[in-house]
Chains A and B, each alone.
Chain A
Amino acid sequence: VKKPDTDLVDDGEITAMLRGLAGSAEPVRRTSRPPRSLVRTAATFVAAAALLLPALALARWVADHGSSGSAACADAVTFDGRPYVGHEIRTSGDVRAAAGVGVATTVYCDDTGDTPGDGTPARPVRMRGVQGIDPEVALMSRELSHVVYVAVGRCADLRFREELSGCLRERLDLQGRRYSRFRVHEDHGPAPEQVGAPFLATLSTPAVTARVSVRKIQGIAAVDAVSAEADPRNVYVVDGRCYVGISVDLLSCLRDAG
């Protein structure tokens, strides 16, 4: 067999070919749609609709908030009636899988955006708990050891991975509402201004349950968020309020929400 001459293709030609294929600097956006099959059956089967509501809510959440579009869609599951979104946690060494908890369902995900009904169908995934964390807060799958599935609305500001574990494990209960902790970092401006008298809430971590003093934040209703009296930068946000992406400021979101 005669060997081809590698001079037949020079580097300049390969470079030119690659430039022709490179395309735009933006990833091509893909769309997510709620499952058509659900739309067809929802009118008939109320019970089935009740089961599928979390998937629909999750699809909507992904459409509203998922900066990574269908990547988030592909990482979304529902478990025990609650929607979860997957986050990679390679550097969070203290987030470890626990025993199996049951089967979750991935969310139908339309990857093509042009041919209805040919997206990735929902499928069952066996899930495990996370050591020290309530399964209502976070899960891991048996398939992906580097992904933790976090209940929608919990610990959304995951850019600072070192905070993930603490955030997932910490809960604040105040007048029947449950709050998750967010940190307003020094680089993002002054600490939230506190107003009004302090009131007591219950703070729960794996190590301790304690009564702590929290205060209302200027311009934000206490039913949406409060901050710790001892450290105003520790803001506790009520579950489901204000998913915070990389370019959205938490306090602005909370003020808009009010």
Chain B
Amino acid sequence: VLKVETDLHQLAEAASRGDRPALDDLVRALQADVVRTTRLIVGSGSTVAEDAAQDALADMTRGIGGLEDPHAVRAWALRIATRRAMKASRSERLLRLRRERHITIPETDSLPSRRTVELRSAFHALKPRLRAVAVLRLYVGLSEAETAAVLSIPVGTVKSQLHAARFELSRALTDAGVVPATQVRSKDRGAPREETRH
């Protein structure tokens, strides 16, 4: 990890001085984080999300000259991705209401359980800011302080918003009548997981 971070900051330094091959390498190195973060915040399966991801990558290439701290290049890229995603979320909501412009993103789960489907739906219904906090903390793996820095909010707000996200997701699962995972685990650890209350 240390070597990767070192490589990133060296690439960022060179790219910000105008080294094009270094910029290409830097974008390639950060692309997965930027694209997936943008996609998850806006909403997987939306063309708006894919556009926002492309815009975020373009923002990186255009804005590399203004990067102040090459050591913080990953946070800088995630900030760009989050900003683009938050902006795109507004138009994505309108399109979702009209049920338009959806595409298929290959999923790693071949057959998601009902609980997972409900959880995804509930996550998509969260406010964009709550989704952003959850994605940065729980998917990208940033610390609370790093998440706060990327979103330019206090650490306490990160904590409260993550709690709010969990609360909303739990409420959605309860409303949907899906058996809580904790109950399933405590009731019958060895058996296949049941999906609904009977």
Contact = CB atoms under 8 A, between A and B. Distances in A.
Given A160-B18, A188-B20, A6 B39 contact: no
A209 to B, nearest CB: 29
A187 B19 contact: yes
B20 to A, nearest CB: 6
Given A17-B119, A25-B32, A187 B17 contact: yes
Given A30-B47, A87-B62, A187 B18 contact: yes
B182 A159 contact: no
A14 B119 CA distance: 8
Contact of A6 (B137, B163, B181): B163
Interface in B42-101: 44, 47, 50-51, 53-55, 57-59, 61-66, 101
A249 B171 CA distance: 55
B162 to A, nearest CB: 8
B109 A23 contact: no
A26 B36 CA distance: 8
Given A6-B166, A17-B119, A87-B62, A23 B18 contact: no
A76 B107 CA distance: 33
B58 to A, nearest CB: 5
A180 to B, nearest CB: 18
A158 B167 contact: no
B135 interface: yes
B142 to A, nearest CB: 13
A91 B66 contact: yes
A6 B170 CA distance: 6
A231 interface: no
B65 A160 contact: yes
A18 interface: yes
Interface residues of A, number: 48
A185 interface: yes
A10 B20 CA distance: 43
A7 B182 contact: yes
Contacts of B47: 28, 30, 111-112
A188 B35 CA distance: 28
A123 interface: no
Nearest to B173: A8
Interface residues on B, range: 35 or more
B102 to A, nearest CB: 9
A159 B61 contact: yes
A19 B108 contact: yes
Q: Which of A8, A14, A158 has the most CB of B within 10 A?
A: A8
A23 B107 contact: yes
A256 interface: no
Name the prevailing secondary structure of the B interface residues: helix
A25 B170 contact: no
A68 B54 contact: yes
B27 to A, nearest CB: 8
Interface in A1-26: 3-11, 13-15, 17-26
Given A28-B105, A160-B18, A246-B24, A23 B36 contact: yes
Given A6-B166, A9-B119, A22 B63 contact: no
A23 B181 contact: no
B11 interface: no
A8 B181 contact: yes
Interface centre among B54, B57, B63, B137 (most CB of A within 10 A): B54
Contacts of A37: none
Contacts of A9: 119, 166, 169-170, 173, 181
A139 to B, nearest CB: 19
A18 B127 CA distance: 16
A22 B58 contact: no
A69 interface: yes
A112 to B, nearest CB: 6
B120 interface: yes
Given A9-B181, A28-B47, 6 more contacts: A8-B169, A14-B169, A20-B107, A21-B39, A74-B51, A159-B62
Interface of A: 3-11, 13-15, 17-28, 30, 67-71, 74, 87-88, 91, 111-112, 158-162, 185-188, 246-247, 249
